[in-house]
């Protein structure tokens, strides 16, 4: 079901198919009921598109959290970044406090596709967002009330070793 509320393409395709089928019925019969079926197909498609915009899935919440994190990094807002880190993530907090003051970030973007995996089988739910940001990065999130917080990260590049040379 998440697929339908995260992507408008299936809604558009189903709506187009329904409209085509009801349009063919109307052209062949010229009956008022067939015209009402066409109107219903358009209305159903519109409801689906509106629902897709209104329903926010956990995957979309994690993607929005990641986008907010990157905006704060780009703004060089250390305190803002730290508010997004879980209180128990001491390593992550200390890395941010040590590394962020060393750099003046002008652009912070995830390149390529952001892949988000959600695990609702644990309490609280967990998520992993994997993306490219100078290196392959995976951020590990936990659900904390109504928001997602970052509790760990891993990267293909050893940031601590590289930062020690600065």
Confidence (pLDDT) at 165: 65
Residues 87, 158 within the same domain: yes
Give whole-number Cα distances, 139 to 25, 99, 130, 150, in Å. Answer: 52, 17, 6, 7
Report d(CA 149, CA 139) in Å as an integer: 10
Confidence (pLDDT) at 21: 96
Confidence (pLDDT) at 28: 95
Confidence (pLDDT) at 90: 86
Q: Taking a C-beta distance cutoff of 8 angstroms, is the pair 137, 153 a contact? A: yes
Q: What is the CATH number of the domain that holds 150?
A: 3.10.450.50
Residues 31, 65 within the same domain: no
Residues of the chain with pLDDT under 50: none
The total of structural domains in the chain comes to: 2
Residues 64, 32 within the same domain: no
Residues 30, 112 within the same domain: no
Confidence (pLDDT) at 150: 94
Confidence (pLDDT) at 166: 60
Radius of gyration in angstroms for the set of CA atoms belonging to the chain, rounded to a whole number: 23
Residues 107, 160 within the same domain: yes
Residues 106, 73 within the same domain: yes
Residues 151, 77 within the same domain: yes
pTM for the full model?
Answer: 0.76
Q: Taking a C-beta distance cutoff of 8 angstroms, is the pair 116, 129 a contact? A: yes
CA-nearest of 55, 61, 53 to 143 is 61
Last residue of a domain, one of 21, 37, 54: 54
Residues 68, 139 within the same domain: yes
CA-nearest of 141, 160, 145 to 65 is 141
Per the structure, the complete domain to which residue 148 belongs is given by: 58-164
Residues 48, 76 within the same domain: no
68's enclosing H/E stretch is helix 58-74
Last residue of a domain, one of 54, 74, 94: 54
Residues 151, 75 within the same domain: yes
Residues 112, 148 within the same domain: yes
The token pair that represents 33 in the structure block: 């009921």
Angle formed at CA 122 by CA 116 and CA 123, multiple of 5 degrees: 110
Residues 43, 77 within the same domain: no
């Amino acid at each position: 079901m998440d697929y339908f509320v995260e992507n408008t393409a299936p809604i558009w395709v189903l709506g187009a198919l329904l409209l085509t089928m009801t349009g063919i019925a109307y052209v062949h019969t010229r009956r008022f009921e067939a015209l009402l079926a066409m109107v219903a197909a358009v209305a159903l498609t519109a409801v689906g598109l509106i629902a897709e915009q209104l329903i926010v899935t956990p995957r979309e919440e994690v993607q929005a959290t990641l986008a907010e994190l990157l905006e704060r990094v780009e703004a060089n807002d250390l305190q803002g970044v730290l508010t997004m880190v879980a209180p128990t993530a001491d390593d992550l907090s200390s890395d941010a406090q040590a590394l962020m003051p060393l750099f003046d970030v002008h652009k912070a973007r995830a390149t390529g596709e952001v892949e988000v995996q959600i695990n609702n089988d644990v309490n609280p739910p967990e998520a992993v967002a994997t993306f490219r940001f100078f290196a392959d990065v995976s951020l590990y999130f936990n659900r904390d009330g109504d928001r997602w917080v970052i509790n760990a990260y891993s990267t293909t590049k050893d940031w601590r070793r590289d930062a020690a040379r600065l």
